[in-house]
Chain A
C-alpha cells in the first residue's frame, strides 16, 4: 500500500532477475531469473541442495538467516522485494503473497484455535471486524474442503489429521486473498491420497480466484499435475525453464532428462531376480499378529490397536512389499520383528521358531538374522562415530571380536568368529565394497558423507550382521530420485547375490512395484489385500488399493 510501484498491464506477478544468494560465504543461488504470470503456476524442481527453497524465500523477502548476501532484483506485483524495509514486506506478505510450507504439523501454532489463526491476517491487512473475519474464516475452511467448518473453528491443530492441517495452512495462506500462493513441498509429508486431494484443491482455487502459484517440489509427478511452467534448478542455476509439456516431452538439458529417467514409475521395466519357487517353506511367517499401544491422554489411558490379525510370510530371496498410508501399522510390523515392540497375540516364526519374547543368546541370534535399514540415513548413524566404528558395532553384535579402528589385535573373545583386528578391518572394507564404497570411507564420519553414501553405509552395517531377513523401512524415501534408483539397484543386486528376504515398507507405490515380488496393502492395522506384485497393480481387488493406485500422479501431465 505504501510502495505503489508502476503496475504495468500484463507484467508478470512475480519477476526475479539475476538473483544471487550467498549464505555464510557459500554461493547457494547463482544468477536465477524467473517469472510467473498472473493466474499461472510455476513449478520449481530440483534435488535437495539445488536452491529451490532459497530462491523462492529470498525472492519473496522471507530469507533472514544470518550472514546472507542477496543481490539481483525481485518484484511482486511491480513492488520491489529485495532491499525493501520490513514494513513494506509485511504489507506485501499478507495481502499479496500466501505461504504454505512442508510440515503442516509445525506451521500452525498449537496454542491457538483455527479461528484465531485464520482471522489474524484479514483483521490486520483487510481491516475486517471480528465478525466479518469469522465469516470469512468459515468461507475459507469451506473452500479448502474441510468438513463441518462451523465446529472446526474452535478446534486446535492437534485435533486435525496431517492432511486437514495442510488444508488449514492453505486456508491461512488464502485468508487475505493473495495474488500469489507460494507452496514449498506442501505434499511431501502427506499420503498419496491426501496429496491428490490437495493438488486438486489448489488447482481449483487457482482457477476460481485467478491466483498465481509457485510450487516447489522434488517430485516431477506432482509438478506435472500442478504447473503450467517448470523451472529446473541444478546447483543454484536454472538449467531449464519451459512450459510443462515441453519439459516432459522434449527436455533440453541433460539434468532434466536424468531427473525424468530416474523417477520411479508405475509399470517401469522390472528386472527382478525370479521369485523363488512357490513350494519353499517361508523363512519368516507372521500369523494372526495383534499389537496394541497404550496411549496416555488427558482423560486417562487409551489403547490403540496398531496391528490386527496380521498374517504375512516371506521366503528366501523374495521381496514382500508392504504399502499403506501413515498410521496403517506398517512400521509396527518392523518394530515387532526387531524386538522393539511385543505383540499381544499371534506368533512370528523364523524358520519355524517363535521369536517373540526371546531372551539372552537366542535373542542376539535373532537380532542378527533380522536386520533393519532405517528411513533417515542422517539420523541412523551416530554422528560422533566413524563409519568403521559403526560397522564394528554391528560386527561385534554378530559375534566378531576385535577392533576395526586400529591395526592392533585385541584379545579374542571365546565366541570369536575369525578374531584378529586386521581381519575385522578387512571385513569392514569388504562390506563397504559390497555397497560400492571404497575402503577409505572407513575412517570418515557421517557428516562427511552425502545422503546416498550414508544410506549405503547403513546397508553395509545391516549386512555386517550376516542377516537372512532385511527390513527396509522407507529406506529410499528420503533420498533424491537419482540416488534412490541407485540404491534400489544396489538392493536388488545384493538380494540376487545373497538370497536375502526383504520386507520393503514404503508409501510410494511406484518404488514398491519396482522392488517387490509380492505386495501387501495395509489399512488401519490390517492387511486388506495381498497379491503378486504384477497382479496387484493389474487387477486390484479392493477399492482401497484402487484408490491408492489412482492417487499416484500420472507419469505425464494430462
Chain B
C-alpha cells in the first residue's frame, strides 16, 4: 500500500485499488511524521495542547496564590521556575497562560479563516466588481499596521479576551482572503472546473466540491503560520496591557511585569519568553512540513527519498 501511494501510481498507469480518500489522507499524515522537523513540531504542539488543557490540575500552585515572603525566589525544588515579585509561582502561571494563549490563537484564527476564505473564494470565483470591492477593502485593512488595528478594536470594545480574539481575527482576515482568492483564481481556470460549469452544475456545488478542497493546501499552511503569529500578537497586546487583564496570567503580561526585574530576577522574563518561542516555533515547523506534504512536487521528492 505504501509503495503505491498517490503519485507513484501516476506514471505506472492503472494500478490496483489504492487511492481511496482514506489512504490518501493517511499517507499525508505518515509523510508529515516522516519529516523530522514536522514530527518534532507535532510532538511539541501535542504536549503544549495537553499541558494547556490539563493546566488547572497540573499546576502545583494557583496562578494568583500570593506569597510575598517568598517573592523573587530563583528556580528551586519548591518553585521550579522561580517566583515573581508577589511570590506567585512562575511555572503555574506559564502553564495556565498557555491555555489562554492557545484559546485566543485558535478562536481568532478560526474567525479569520471562516470570514477570509468565504470572502476570498466568492471574490475570486465571481470576479468583476464584487472582486474589486472585496479585495480593495482587504487592501485597506492590510495597510494598517497589525498592532495599530488591534489597538483600535480593543480601544473600542474595551480590553477583554473576546475583544482580543475579534481584533486578531479581523487583522488576519485579509491574509486568508488573499490566499483563498489567489488559489481560487487559478483553480477557476482548471478544465475540470470549466467542465463542471459547462455541465450546468450549480455554482455553490462547484465551490463546495472543486474549489474548497482545491484550496485547502495553501489555506492549511496559512492557518498554521497565522496561529504562530496570533500567539505573538496576543502576547504583544497583553504586554501593552490591552489583552488578558490582570490578575489572569498571560505570557505577554508576564513579560511586561518582568521588565522591572530583569536584572534581579531573570527567570520572570526568560520562561514566559521561552514558552512563546517554543509555541511559535512548533507552529512554524508544522506549517512548513504541511506545505511540503501538500505540494505535489515536494511530495513526490519526499516519497522517493523514503522509498530508498
| Chain A residues with a Cβ under 8 A of chain B | 24-26, 49, 66-67, 338-340, 363-368, 370-372, 374-376, 379-382, 384-385, 393-394, 396-398, 443-445, 447-450, 453, 458, 461, 465
B145 within 8 A of A: no
The answer on a CB contact under 8 Å between A364 and B19 is no
24 inter-chain pairs at a CB distance below 8 angstroms, sorted by A residue, are: A26-B11, A338-B197, A339-B197, A339-B200, A366-B200, A367-B200, A368-B199, A368-B200, A372-B198, A379-B190, A379-B191, A379-B192, A393-B196, A397-B201, A398-B199, A444-B14, A444-B17, A445-B6, A445-B19, A447-B19, A448-B19, A449-B13, A450-B13, A461-B199
Most A CB within 10 A of own CB, among B7, B17, B21, B209: B209
Question: B34 contacts the other chain (Cβ, under 8 Å)?
Answer: no
- Bound-state CA distance A453–B18 (Å) is 17
A49 cross-chain contacts in B, Cβ below 8 A: 11
**The 9 A-B residue pairs with the shortest CB-CB distance in the complex, in nearest-first order:** A367-B200, A338-B198, A445-B19, A24-B304, A379-B191, A364-B200, A380-B191, A397-B199, A447-B10
Contact B195 A67 (CB under 8 A): no
Q: Which of B14, B20, B197, B200 contacts A450 (CB 8 A)?
A: B14
Chain A residues within an 8 Å CB radius of B196: 393, 397
Contact A374 B191 (CB under 8 A): yes
Q: Please, how many angstroms separate the alpha-carbon atoms of A397 and B199 in the complex?
A: 6
A67-B304, A338-B197, A380-B191 given. 4 additional CB < 8 A pairs? Answer: A26-B11, A26-B12, A340-B194, A371-B199
> Which residues of chain B are within 8 angstroms of A370 by Cβ–Cβ distance?
198
For A368, give the chain B residue with the smallest CB separation.
Answer: B200
Tell me whether A443 and B17 are in contact in the complex, defined as CB-CB below 8 angstroms, given that A340-B198, A371-B199, A397-B199 are known contacts.
Answer: yes
Q: Which residues of B contact A397 (CB under 8 A)?
A: 196, 199-201
Instruction: Kindly supply a per-residue 1/0 record for chain B positions 197-228, scoring 1 wherever the CB is within 8 Å of any chain A CB and 0 otherwise.
Output: 11111000100011001100000000000000
State A337–B305 Cα separation when bound (angstroms): 48
Interface centre among B9, B11, B200, B305 (most CB of A within 10 A): B200
Which residues in B have their C-beta under 8 angstroms from that of A365? 200
Binding site for A on B (CB under 8 A): 6-7, 9-15, 17-21, 190-192, 194-201, 205, 209-210, 213-214, 300-301, 304-305, 307-308
Q: Which of A66, A374, A448, A449 contacts B194 (CB 8 A)?
A: A374
Instruction: Say yes or no: A372-B195 contact (C-beta < 8 A), given A379-B190, A443-B20.
Output: yes
Q: Which of B192, B197, B305, B307 has the most CB of A within 10 A?
A: B192
In the assembled complex, how far is the CB of residue B108 from the closest CB belonging to chain A, in whole angstroms? 29
Cα–Cα, bound, A340→B6 (Å): 33
Nearest A-chain residue to B213, judged by Cβ = A384
Task: Give A366's nearest chain B residue, CB to CB.
Answer: B200
Most buried by B among A364, A381, A384: A384
Smallest Cβ-Cβ distance to B16: which chain A residue: A448
What residues on B are CB-neighbors of A394 within 8 Å? Answer: 199
Contacts of B20 in A (CB 8 A): 443
Do A340 and B19 touch (CB < 8 A)?
no
Bound-state CA distance A375–B205 (Å) is: 24
Q: Which of B18, B205, B214, B307 is in CB contact (< 8 Å) with A384?
A: B214
Min Cβ gap B12→A in Å is 8
In the bound complex, CA of A385 to CA of B14 (Å): 16
Q: How far is the CA of A379 from the CA of B196 in the complex (A)?
A: 12
Please measure, in the bound complex, the distance between the C-alpha atom of A380 and the C-alpha atom of B308, giving whole angstroms: 33
On chain B, the residues within 8 Å of A376 by CB distance are 191
